[in-house]
């Protein structure tokens, strides 16, 4: 009973960290919960007589659980190759736009560095992902990582390094894309406020769509002279525009861009969705968080 109480106390003490490790490893809140639950089942039955570092021991157990889940996930994907394509991952509540999801909507979501990071992590081999997450995010030593994956510390270091290069390459590409998109959105807002019809048409794709309006000239005519109170912002990491009243966001304007032209503009005014968005207002020299 005393040993069981000790295990329960140590697990409760480190449960938040275990969940953080599992979420970073698996990229799914529900799977992270499953991994933490499985970790508890394992440690509650384990012999703890030789445990000197509870935090390290628990991290090792949850990492092995996650590794097994990642390997099973990869095996399922290999088994389903050639069959129907897997269902896309559901977006977080509040990040979707009004109406039916379109390829442009998916592009908006994929612009987020956080989403891109999860996408590239999902392409890594399970051992690469584990080595990168544990070392670079949670500062676990390569000796400990090697023991988890039955590799030498040097091999664990190589796995993390290979994963880091791929993640960094994706982050750099997303930063560049986000910077270019910010410039286009910023130019659109300036042209709209100034009523510059010609500049708006230049920024729009000839087949651009906004709400029920189609065509660059029609869309430009609608926005010319408007958006006076809209502010440039990052919405869930993506450049957009936000109109607020008394400090509360009332409308979010999102932009799909292809070949440096705006192809679609969506306006979301749903209070529940807006409440769940992460909004960072941008200006020429600083940032202010909502």
Q: pLDDT tens digit string along 168-205?
A: 766 665 565 567 888 999 999 999 999 999 999 999 99
Residue 97 DSSP class: P
Q: What is the structure's pLDDT at 170? A: 65
Residue 289, SS3 per DSSP: strand
Residue 83 DSSP class: S
pLDDT at 115 over 80: no
Q: What is the structure's pLDDT at 117? A: 63
Q: What is the structure's pLDDT at 216? A: 95
| pLDDT, average across residues 218-224 | 94
Record the tokens describing residue 217, joined without a space. 């000239």
pLDDT: is 8 or 170 the higher one?
Answer: 8
Q: What is the structure's pLDDT at 62? A: 95
Other CB atoms within 10 A of residue 274 CB: 19
pLDDT at 27 over 70: yes
pLDDT at 96 over 50: no
Instruction: Render pLDDT for 225-239 as a digit per residue (tens, 0 to 9).
Output: 988 888 998 887 788
Q: How confident is the model at residue 288 (pLDDT cuts 50, 70, 90)?
A: very low
Q: What is the H or E stretch that residue 279 is in?
A: strand 279-282
Lowest average pLDDT, out of 20-29, 61-70, 137-146, 271-280, goes to 271-280
Q: What is the structure's pLDDT at 107? A: 38
CA distance 38 to 25: 15
Q: What is the DSSP code string of 177-233?
A: HHHHHHHHHHHHHHHHHHT-HHHHHHHEEEEEEETTEESHHHHHHHHTT--TT-EEE
Strand 287-289 to 279-282 pairing: antiparallel
pLDDT: is 228 or 264 the higher one?
Answer: 264
Q: What is the structure's pLDDT at 40? A: 94
pLDDT at 210 over 90: yes
pLDDT at 93 over 50: no
Question: 């968005």: which residue's tokens?
Answer: 277
| Helices within the chain (DSSP H only) | 2-26, 29-44, 54-79, 103-110, 113-123, 126-132, 142-149, 153-194, 197-203, 216-223, 271-276
φ and ψ at residue 227, rounded to 5 degrees: 60, 30
Q: What is the structure's pLDDT at 106? A: 37
Mean pLDDT score of the chain: 80
CA distance 118 to 28: 10
Closest CA to 210 of 41, 121, 109, 97: 97
Residue percentage of the chain with pLDDT more than 70: 78
CA distance 69 to 63: 10
> 94: which strand partners?
none
End-to-end alpha-carbon separation of the chain, Å?
49
pLDDT: is 166 or 98 the higher one?
Answer: 166
Contacts of 90 (CB under 8 A, 6+ apart): none
């Amino acid at each position: 009973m005393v040993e069981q109480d000790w295990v329960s106390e140590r697990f409760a003490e480190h449960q938040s960290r275990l969940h953080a490790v599992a979420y970073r490893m698996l990229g799914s809140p529900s799977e992270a919960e499953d991994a933490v639950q499985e970790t508890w089942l394992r440690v509650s039955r384990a012999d703890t007589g030789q445990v000197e570092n509870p935090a390290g021991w628990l991290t090792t157990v949850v990492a092995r659980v996650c590794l097994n889940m990642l390997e099973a996930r990869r095996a399922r994907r290999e088994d389903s190759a050639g069959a129907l394509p897997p269902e896309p991952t559901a977006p977080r509540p509040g990040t979707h736009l009004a109406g039916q999801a379109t390829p442009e909507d998916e592009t908006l979501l994929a612009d987020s560095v956080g989403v891109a990071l999860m996408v590239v992590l999902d392409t890594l081999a399970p051992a690469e992902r584990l080595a990168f997450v544990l070392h670079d995010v949670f500062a676990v030593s390569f000796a400990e990582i090697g023991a988890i994956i039955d590799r030498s510390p040097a091999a664990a270091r190589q796995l993390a390094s290979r994963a880091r290069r791929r993640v960094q390459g994706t982050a750099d590409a997303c930063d560049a894309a986000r910077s270019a998109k910010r410039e286009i959105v910023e130019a659109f807002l300036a042209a709209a406020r100034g009523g510059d019809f010609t500049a708006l048409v230049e920024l729009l794709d000839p087949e651009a769509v906004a709400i029920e309006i189609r065509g660059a000239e029609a869309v430009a005519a609608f926005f010319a002279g408007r958006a006076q109170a809209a502010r440039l912002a990052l919405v869930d990491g993506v450049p957009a525009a936000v109109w607020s009243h008394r400090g509360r966001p009332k409308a979010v304007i999102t932009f799909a861009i292809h070949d440096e032209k705006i192809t679609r503009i969506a306006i979301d005014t749903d209070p529940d969705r807006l409440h769940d968005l992460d909004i960072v207002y941008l200006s020429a020299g600083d940032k202010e968080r909502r």
